[in-house]
Chain A
Amino acid sequence: MGRETAGARLRGVLVIACGNTLRGDDGAGPETGELLAAELEGTGAEVIVVDQLLPELALDASRSARVVFVDAAADLPPGSVSVRPVNPGKDAPGDGGAESPNSASRVPGAARRSLDPFSHGIGPEDVLRLARDLYAAEPDAVLVSVGAESFEPGDGLSATVRRAIPAAVRAAVRAAEEGAGTASRDDA
């Protein structure tokens, strides 16, 4: 995938890569995001790398036609890469979280739902929900997940996850170009 030197073929695409680089494989999101920022330079796509998803990202999402979230996942085989569509959470907070096992957060399942209770463990569906509720925007969205081996405190990815990063980058670029697609798995 080469760099675009002219045009903005991916204008309107927003990549949000999140994770804590001091919690082992939770750094897969930021690692992938930094590579994507270089890969997508000049394409018009915007890449945001953050430690965690927070409500203010809803404003960025609302201004995009397509959002690609990138995160590590606790519930996928280590080193695997998964892509699935993400929708805004439903009316009752918690439905999005319960239906979408897509977060690497270590917060217990009940607390992962919709901005409750910690307000520092929201998921992609909550960002999309706020984009819809506050800005009447419903961008297409997918989540690229990298199966993690360990979330123990420490700087650096496991060898298994490090090997998966190129696949995660490829999957995110495809997702950026193709939009929200059907779920797929790619074991790195």
Chain B
Amino acid sequence: MKGRDRSLIKCILFILSVCCVVSCSHEKRPLVKDATAMDTFLTVSVYDEEISDEQAFAMMDSAIAEIRRVEMMATDYNDTSEVGTVNKHAGHDSIIISSELNSLLETALQYCRSSDGAFDITVEPLVKAWDFLSERPQTPTDEQIQTILRYVGYKKLSIINRTVFLQQPGMGIDLGAIAKGYAVEKALQKLRSGGVHKAIVDLGGNLGVGWRGTKMFDSTVASIYIRHPRKDGQYFGKFKVGNAGISTSGDYQRYFIEDGVRYHHILNPKTGMPVRDLVSATVVSSNATDADALSTLIFVLGRERGMELLRRTNGVEGLLIFQQGDSLAFTGTPKILSSFSRTPTDD
């Protein structure tokens, strides 16, 4: 056989094997599972090619179950959850809680203390009064808000030896500003422990990217798109991450318009009113729990104090969108800005 003929055969075999690999791998990854949990949409995507489909699907089920387990612990919509039980007994009984909830509450309380109450997990009565999820949400009266504010304040929540007590009847814990991020983090841990090292967990825009061997910002891994706050179905921009937790708090996620004024769900725990400064705050952190809590906290703090907090917090980056005249503008920390690119829109 002539060398030229051998080369032709080798070439054909090579092209065939490339075809096979490309078409097979293209079909198989990512493997995706969708579900609903914590009142929102959940997607788990696995990109590892080193593990079998069966193992990947089993681990995705396990991650979804983990998120539902966290929901059952942390939701305040259910009297039988741990948080629901604490709320039901507010002002009357101390409740012994699991070490896991104890640890999550301690993490949340650190944010409450360090922010002097700008982040406050006892806003449950306020959230209930505004009821953004009802059919016709409406603004509570000033008098109602002032009354409700008497039941808000993290200093009236005590935790000693895994025993929680809310000092007044009518008080309540709402972990809505941290629980989704925590659930994402736990799901990523579950995936890692099962040998999945390239995955994305998306719980209603609270994202966890678990990508072994990558840094928080890695241009070779995942593109994170920020939803456009004022343009339905469009993106404001995108940036690249590796191993990271990402969360955005915005005035467009749950809101209603009354007399031409936008009332949104991120409330100032001290005034009881929606915070007016930023349009959205996106935070990237090494873990999703912190990203979730910090996006809410920074939104409440506003542009100047939010940027200050970002600058002095190690390992955390943020991008803040705000209204400037008729259009939207943005600012942020250097690392995220260097990776960020605007999506062309007309604002």
Chains A and B form a bound pair: no
